[in-house]
Amino acid sequence: MSLKQTNLALAKDDTNRFLPWLIAFMSLLAILSVAGFLLLKQVSDLFEYNSNDTMTIQVPSGNSEKRTNKKITQIINILKETGGVIEVSLVPKVEVIQLLKPWLGTISESQTLPLPQIIDIQIDRSSGITPEKISNVLTIIVPDITVDDHSIWLIGLVKTLQSAELMALFILLLIIFIIIGTVIFTTRTGMGIHKQTIEVLHFVGAHDDFIARQFAIRGLVVGLQGGLIGFLFAIPILYVFDNLLQNLEEGFLPKAEVNIFVWLSVALVVPMISSITMLTARGTVLKSLKKML
């Protein structure tokens, strides 16, 4: 069967002139929602990782650097022996300065500024280790030592980011519903325009599927057109957004990027949209034809 020779000339319908552009706009929004979701997930995953498995120990700088270093060695040795502590690492001074730079500016580089020594530890929370337990052991060596459990303040941020992720998914769902509604409306209009042709096709013995297939193919074409246009518009937007993310101050937020996974995911929106338009058109036609004799 040749589609060209039996088609309903759907492409010439007035409703089909604006439809690819509407789908393109919806696709752009869908792509941005998917990209937004993935970038937020990157950030929240990093925060969650930090909050779950790490603690930071601050050792105030003493009057004697030699004595401080000795205490640090002692603390590291104790921590390594403590059950539930997986890894212990002293944060280099350069890194500490970098972390403080967004708040203190160039003052953080001053040699006279008393900077605390920072020890990062990776823990196994299931072992029951807590900041209090570590603090109790270490205050014997350094009384004014502080143990920061990141989860206390990061958990709220992670929850906020996860809410934003859900919001992005909700917007995506909303866009899909709007696309489905639009395709149902235009398909029904198309069926009204081609009512006589559909009747003729029925009279010559065409199955409902034969007629539905022609609307489905048109739906696929419109979905692909709209999806690709939307994707083309999304490319510069995501590129600019990625640059903005890369230029964020170090240490302000965990690094998120529009990586290959994000690009592949947003590219998948195009076949997803065209599949939705195709299946919706087909379903609408089959449902409507059931009402006809």
Partner 1 sequence: MTEVIKFESVGLRYGLGPEVLQDISFNLETASFHFLIGPSGAGKSSLLRLMYLAHRQTRGIISLFGRDTASLPRTELPKLRRRIGVMFQDFRLLPHLTAFDNVALPLRVAGMKETKIKRYVEELLVWVGLENHMDVRPTTMSGGQQQRIAIARAVIARPKILYADEPTGNVDDRIAARLMHLFDELNKLGTTVIIATHNESIIQEFRRPILRIESGRLTVVPLDKDNKSSDNKSNVKRATQLLESLSPE
Residues contributing to the site for partner 1 (CB under 8 A) = 1-2, 5-7, 9, 12, 196-197, 199-208, 210, 290, 293
Question: Residue 130 carries which side chain, given as an amino acid letter?
Answer: T
Q: Is 11 helix (H, G, I), strand (E, B) or coil?
A: helix
204 burial type by CB count under 10 A (0-12 exposed, 13-18 middle, 19+ buried): exposed
Element (H, E) at 121: strand 117-123
CB-based contact 30:269 (threshold 8 Å)? yes
Instruction: Write down the least CB distance from residue 225 to partner 1, Å.
Output: 20
Instruction: Write down the least CB distance from residue 263 to partner 1, Å.
Output: 41
Instruction: Write down the least CB distance from residue 30 to partner 1, Å.
Output: 33
CA gap 15, 20 in Å, rounded: 10
Element (H, E) at 146: strand 146-149
Instruction: Write down the least CB distance from residue 278 to partner 1, Å.
Output: 22
CB-based contact 120:54 (threshold 8 Å)? yes
Instruction: Write down the least CB distance from residue 207 to partner 1, Å.
Output: 5
Nearest in space to 43 (alpha carbons), one of 255, 250, 260, 266: 255
Query: Measured from the CB atom, is 105 or 205 closer to partner 1?
Result: 205
Query: Measured from the CB atom, is 8 or 234 closer to partner 1?
Result: 8
Query: Measured from the CB atom, is 210 or 239 closer to partner 1?
Result: 210
Query: Measured from the CB atom, is 200 or 232 closer to partner 1?
Result: 200
Query: Measured from the CB atom, is 94 or 293 closer to partner 1?
Result: 293
